[in-house]
Amino acid sequence: MSDKNDLISCCGSDCSKCYCYGKMCEGCNAVCGKVFHAPEGKECPIYYCCRIENGYKSCGECSKLPCDLILETRDPSLTEEEFMKTVDERVKRLKG
């Protein structure tokens, strides 16, 4: 059984609340960023920037949060208002 913190991705998304969790994806941390929506064999660009390029545990350690990469990586099914609400929630989750 995983710790609840293991289900918070480096970008602040709560994987346990994602419609894909347990079906198409086991969570960002469990698959080292190689989630279903990333190009085959590649990490999510946010995970790559955060964990691999910068060595952070989460984007909450970055002074640029929310950065352009986060603001450009979005679920196309969300309206702008819905998306910005998720960004605000993620930032709050990461900044504690």
Where exactly are the structural domains of the chain?
4-95
Other residues' Cβ atoms within 10 Å of the Cβ of residue 47 = 23
Look-up: residue for tokens 């419609």?
19
Which letter does DSSP use for residue 64 in this model? T
- Say whether 14 sits in a helix, a strand or coil: strand
- Banded model confidence at residue 89, pLDDT cuts 50, 70, 90: very high
Interval 11-60: pLDDT, tens:
999 999 988 899 988 999 999 999 888 888 899 999 999 999 999 999 99
Other residues' Cβ atoms within 10 Å of the Cβ of residue 78 = 12
Question: What pTM does this model have?
Answer: 0.87
- Banded model confidence at residue 3, pLDDT cuts 50, 70, 90: low
pLDDT at 4 over 70: no
- Banded model confidence at residue 63, pLDDT cuts 50, 70, 90: very high
pLDDT at 92 over 80: yes
